[in-house]
A and B are shown apart, each in its own frame.
Chain A
Amino acid sequence: MQASTSTLPDAGTGRQILLSHFDDLDQQHLSSNLGMWFFLVSEVMFFSGLIGAYAVYRALSPVAFERASGHMDLWVGFFNTLVLLTSSLTMALAVRCSQIGDNRGIVRYLIATAVLGTVFLGVKGFEWKQEIDHHLLPGPHFVVPAEDAEALRAVSVGTDGQFDPVKYARNLGHFQMMFVLYFFMTGVHAFHMIVGVAAVLIFAVLAQIRWFSGYGTTQIEVLGLYWHFVDVVWVFLYPLLYLIG
């Protein structure tokens, strides 16, 4: 129907450009939406693999996981969860503004979302710094704190009720494994956040210069789907990593 370039007169107006390979605007919208959903399904599988590994190791050494989780500050995690849920609200409101054609609202809420996302990342970086300073980053410098080693020694008993050195070694290993999973899960989550913040900022600029046709309803909604998904991942990571035991 129309060519797909933003230099057409329709760009920057309320009228959305229909790309030539779609029948109508609703089909175009549904296709974009569905494309993002397919990607998100693959993302669900990606994070589920990690959660599966977490489930197996935690079931093998529950006490090691509880002791390791004790080193994470649940109130810092609480604050970050609150920040992320709030960013989802501002993202949802940005999508709503694009639906009702409030361009200033889009820019305002997208910037609010990016700021909240950046706050989350800053707090997360501060947490990582603390843990690395306490030798809790897996690798050659990892040290199991003495009181945790003591607690794990106490639960490493064989079926005969005697101390079992093999079990003890496994518990120490799984204590470190909890931190491997912690750094990997929060790391890939933070990577998704960085990508999200960058995309949100780019979209804020594009909305500001009125680059989108139809106020970018489809594009901003699809970006919103990604942002909310990253939020959903954190909703599961928070209790699994911070709230054990």
Chain B
Amino acid sequence: MQHHHQSSQLHQSAEAHEQSHHVIAVKTYLMIYLALMLLLALTVGAYFLDMGSHQINLAVAMTIAVVKAVLIVLFFMHVYYSAPLTWITAVGSLLWVGLLLAFLLADYFSRGWLDILGK
């Protein structure tokens, strides 16, 4: 309650205050933890499942990893409740990674396409 007293004193906006002090219920944390455990079990389960090709296995494993990462980032790292600037920064990292991987892989996998001398 002390925080509320301070915020009225300092004329902070209720929204900014909520963004920096949102308290998540213990139950929510436990639910996220349980979901992460289930996804971990699912990853290992998917490994033992023959899905026809290694590409499909890889895609499934990476999809599960992304879901786990999103849960951690949104709830354990509080991004879900954070200020828009934090959202932009967090999502921005995906943009940079996307650029890095897209151009790196485009370079390596298109090298064999054209028979250019001295390549």
Most chain A CB neighbours (cut-off 10 Å) among B36, B64, B77, B82? B77
Are the CB atoms of A41 and B93 closer together than 8 Å? yes
Chain A: residues with Cβ within 8 Å of the partner, total of 58
Q: Known contacts being A26-B16, A49-B100, A99-B21, is A74 close to B47, with CB within 8 Å?
A: yes
Nearest-Cβ distance from residue B50 to partner chain A, whole angstroms: 10
Closest B residue, CB atoms, query A24? B10
Chain A residues closer than 8 Å to B30, beta-carbon distance: 89
Nearest-Cβ distance from residue A186 to partner chain B, whole angstroms: 16
Are the CB atoms of B23 and A235 closer together than 8 Å? no
Chain A residues closer than 8 Å to B75, beta-carbon distance: 92
List residues 12-26 of chain B with CB under 8 A from any CB of chain A.
Answer: 12-13, 16-17, 19-21, 23-24, 26
Complex: A96 Cα to B27 Cα, angstroms: 12
The digit string for B78-119, where 1 denotes a CB below 8 A from any CB of A, is: 100011011001101100110011001100110000000000
A195 contacts the other chain (Cβ, under 8 Å)? no
List residues 62-82 of chain A with CB under 8 A from any CB of chain B.
Answer: 62, 66, 74, 78, 81-82
Chain B: residues with Cβ within 8 Å of the partner, total of 56
Closest B residue, CB atoms, query A32? B20
Nearest-Cβ distance from residue B42 to partner chain A, whole angstroms: 11
A209 contacts the other chain (Cβ, under 8 Å)? no
Complex: A62 Cα to B26 Cα, angstroms: 43
A187 contacts the other chain (Cβ, under 8 Å)? no
Are the CB atoms of B104 and A228 closer together than 8 Å? no
Complex: A39 Cα to B75 Cα, angstroms: 19
Q: Which of A52-60, A142-150, A162-170 contacts B (4 or more CB under 8 A)?
A: A52-60
Q: Is the interface of A mostly helix, strand, loop or mixed?
A: helix
Chain A residues closer than 8 Å to B21, beta-carbon distance: 29, 99, 217
Q: Is the interface of B mostly helix, strand, loop or mixed?
A: helix
Chain B residues closer than 8 Å to A96, beta-carbon distance: 23-24, 26, 29
Chain B residues closer than 8 Å to A244, beta-carbon distance: 54, 58
Q: Tell which of B40, B90, B108 touches A82, judged by Cβ atoms closer than 8 Å.
A: B40
Complex: A235 Cα to B25 Cα, angstroms: 24
Mark B residues whose CB is within 8 Å of A.
Answer: 2-3, 6-7, 10-13, 16-17, 19-21, 23-24, 26, 29-30, 33, 36-37, 40, 43-44, 47, 54, 57-58, 61-62, 64-65, 68-69, 72-73, 75-78, 82-83, 85-86, 89-90, 92-93, 96-97, 100-101, 104-105, 108-109
Mark A residues whose CB is within 8 Å of B.
Answer: 14-16, 24-27, 29-30, 33-34, 37-38, 40-41, 44-45, 48-49, 51-52, 55-56, 59, 62, 66, 74, 78, 81-82, 85-86, 88-89, 91-93, 95-96, 99-101, 217, 221, 224-225, 228-229, 231-232, 235-236, 238-240, 243-245
**Given A25-B20, A45-B100, 15 extra CB contacts under 8 A:** A15-B6, A24-B12, A25-B6, A29-B20, A33-B83, A37-B89, A45-B96, A56-B105, A88-B33, A88-B76, A96-B23, A99-B21, A238-B43, A243-B61, A244-B58
The 7 A-B pairs with the shortest beta carbon distances in the complex, nearest first, are: A239-B61, A29-B20, A41-B93, A26-B16, A44-B93, A243-B47, A37-B89
